[in-house]
Amino acid sequence: MVEQLKTFTNNVLALEVIDGFTENDEKLCQKFFQQKRDAGFDSINVMIKLDEMKLSKTSTKAFFEDVLWSLRNYQHMGHIAIVAHSKILKALVPIDNLFFERASKGRQERYFDVSEIDDAYAFVKGSRSQFLH
């Protein structure tokens, strides 16, 4: 199940995945993203909280549809903050950043532990230069 954590009037989208991620959840995420595009934002910063997600309840089809949709809409994605409590996700984010750095300077994906959720919000709300290393 996907829920919007907070709503923002700017280009920030904050979501949480609870339990599993289904095809309906994928469609809802696309709807939220499109609403930001329709509001006139060309680049959307996304914070997604995954600490309550259970892979056993996640649809493989929904996961792959999400990946394909993300690749098709990559040009409209700004910063991405992954909030979780997972050593695996923490290790995967630097690999994603290699792609981000090659594809577009200024975009960055960062991992935040659940205890750092305020920092994650600041990252997606703040200026790009503030968080580049």
Beta-bridge partners for 4: 15
Residue 2: strand, helix, or coil? strand
Query: Cβ distance 124 to 6 under 8 Å?
Result: no
Q: Which domains does the chain have, with CATH numbers?
A: 2-125 (3.30.750)
pLDDT tens, position by position, 21-59: 889 999 999 999 999 999 999 999 999 998 887 777 778
pLDDT tens, position by position, 51-86: 887 777 778 888 888 888 887 888 898 899 999 988
Whole-number mean pLDDT of the chain? 85
CA distance 30 to 21: 13
